[in-house]
C-alpha cells in the first residue's frame, strides 16, 4: 500500500482543462486558417450573458439566465460534441438549456438541432413557416439553395411563434422577427442585455445574402425578390447597438471582439442591410446581363 501511494504521489497530474470563456486571442489561435461549419472553437463571451459556443465558421449563441438558458442555432451535427464541451467549459449544465431557437433552416446552422435537443431536452421554438423544414430536415421547395445544400436530421418543434412574439425565460425576453429572405423560414431575434448599468439592444440578424443553387435565377422569382427586399428593409429598421450574425464574418464579429473595429454600433443593422441590398442588386444586374448576351 505504501509503495502504491508513493507511485501515485510521484505521478505528475494532467493539466486541468481551461475553464470559463476563452480570450479572443485563444479563439483566433485555435481557428487560425479554419472557418468550416464544424471546426471546433472555444467559447467566447460577446457581451454580458451572451456567449458564442459554436464552431470557427458558424455562430451558436448561448444566452444564460437564472431560470435556464437559451441556445440560438446549433451548427452541424458533427459540431455538437464541441458545443456541449463549450457549454460545460463555461461551468454550465447542458440540461439547463431550456429553449432552442434558430435563424434559418440550412444544415450549417440547424443541422445539429436534433442532437442538441436529445442532449438537453430543450424545447425547439420556431415560426410556422420554418417548422416543416426544421422537422423534415429538407429545405423548402422555394428555397433558392434547395438542391445545393444537404438535408439534415430534423428536430421536433414544440412551440410556434409569430412575428413580434416574445420568448420569455425568467428575466430573459427575446423578440422574434420573421425575416424570410435568405430562406423561407428565416427569423431574427432581438433583446436587451445588461452588464452592470450598461445595457445594449442586441440583434441576432438572420443571413440576408442572395445566394442560390447554380440553376436558380432570382430574376425568375420576382415575388421572392420582393420578400427578400422587404426582409432587408425590416432588418435595417431594427434598433440595435450590437449586431451578431449566423456567419460571424458577415458582421466582422471576431475583429470587433479583438478591438479592431467597434463592438457597439447603433448603425450596424442599417449597414448590414445596405450591404445585402447592394449584393442583391449586383446579382440581379449580372443575371440581366447574362440574359441579354444569350
- Write the pLDDT tens digit of every residue in 58-99: 999 999 999 999 999 999 999 999 999 999 999 999 999 999
Q: Where are the domains of the chain?
A: 24-292
pLDDT at 6: 35
Q: Please give the grid coordinates belonging to residue 3.
A: 509503495
Radius of gyration of the chain (CA): 21
3-class secondary structure, 90 = coil
Farthest-apart Cα atoms in the chain, separation: 89
More confident residue, 292 or 57: 57
**CB of 160 within 8 A of CB of 136?**
no
Whether residue 36 has pLDDT greater than 60: yes
Sign of CA dihedral 142, 143, 146, 148: positive
Q: What's the CATH fold of domain 24-292?
A: Metallo-beta-lactamase; Chain A (3.60.15)
pLDDT at 248: 98
From CA 6, how far away is CA 261, in angstroms rounded?
55
One DSSP character per residue, 196-255 reads: TTEEEEEEEPPP------TT--GGG-HHHHHHHHHHHHHHHHS--SEEE-SSGGGGTHHH
HSE at residue 240, side-chain half, CA atoms within 13 A, is 27
Q: How confident is the model at residue 142 (pLDDT cuts 50, 70, 90)?
A: very high
Q: H or E stretch including 160?
A: strand 157-161
Segment 132-143 mean pLDDT:
96
pLDDT at 5: 36
pLDDT at 19: 85
Q: Within a 10 A sphere around the Cβ of 18, how many other Cβ atoms?
A: 12
pLDDT at 18: 61
Amino acid at each position: 500500500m505504501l509503495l502504491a501511494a508513493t507511485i501515485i504521489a510521484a505521478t505528475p497530474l494532467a493539466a486541468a482543462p481551461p475553464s470559463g470563456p476563452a480570450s479572443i486571442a485563444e479563439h483566433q489561435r485555435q481557428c487560425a486558417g479554419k472557418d468550416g461549419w464544424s471546426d471546433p472553437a472555444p467559447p467566447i463571451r460577446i457581451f454580458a450573458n451572451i456567449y458564442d459556443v459554436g464552431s470557427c465558421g458558424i455562430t451558436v449563441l448561448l444566452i444564460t439566465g437564472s431560470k435556464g438558458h437559451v441556445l440560438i442555432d446549433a451548427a452541424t451535427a458533427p459540431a455538437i460534441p464541441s458545443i456541449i464541451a463549450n457549454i460545460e467549459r463555461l461551468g454550465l449544465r447542458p440540461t439547463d438549456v431550456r429553449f432552442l431557437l434558430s435563424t434559418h433552416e440550412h444544415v450549417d446552422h440547424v443541422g445539429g438541432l436534433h442532437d442538441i435537443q436529445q442532449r438537453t431536452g430543450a424545447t425547439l421554438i420556431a415560426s410556422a413557416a420554418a417548422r416543416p423544414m426544421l422537422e423534415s430536415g429538407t429545405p423548402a421547395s422555394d428555397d433558392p439553395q434547395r438542391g445545393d445544400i444537404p438535408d439534415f436530421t430534423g428536430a421536433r418543434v414544440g412551440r410556434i411563434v409569430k412575428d413580434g412574439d416574445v420568448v420569455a425565460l425568467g428575466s430573459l425576453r427575446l423578440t422574434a422577427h420573421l425575416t424570410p429572405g435568405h430562406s423561407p423560414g428565416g427569423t431574427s431575434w432581438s433583446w436587451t442585455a445588461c452588464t452592470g448599468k450598461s445595457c445594449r439592444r442586441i440583434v441576432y440578424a438572420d443571413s440576408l445574402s442572395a445566394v442560390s443553387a447554380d440553376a436558380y435565377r432570382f430574376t425568375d422569382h420576382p415575388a421572392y425578390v420582393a420578400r427578400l427586399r422587404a426582409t432587408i428593409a425590416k432588418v435595417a429598421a431594427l434598433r440595435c447597438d450590437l449586431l451578431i450574425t449566423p456567419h460571424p464574418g458577415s458582421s466582422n464579429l471576431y475583429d470587433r471582439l479583438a478591438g479592431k473595429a467597434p463592438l457597439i454600433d447603433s448603425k450596424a443593422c442599417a449597414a448590414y442591410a445596405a450591404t445585402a441590398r447592394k449584393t442583391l442588386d449586383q446579382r440581379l444586374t449580372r443575371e440581366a446581363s447574362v440574359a441579354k448576351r444569350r
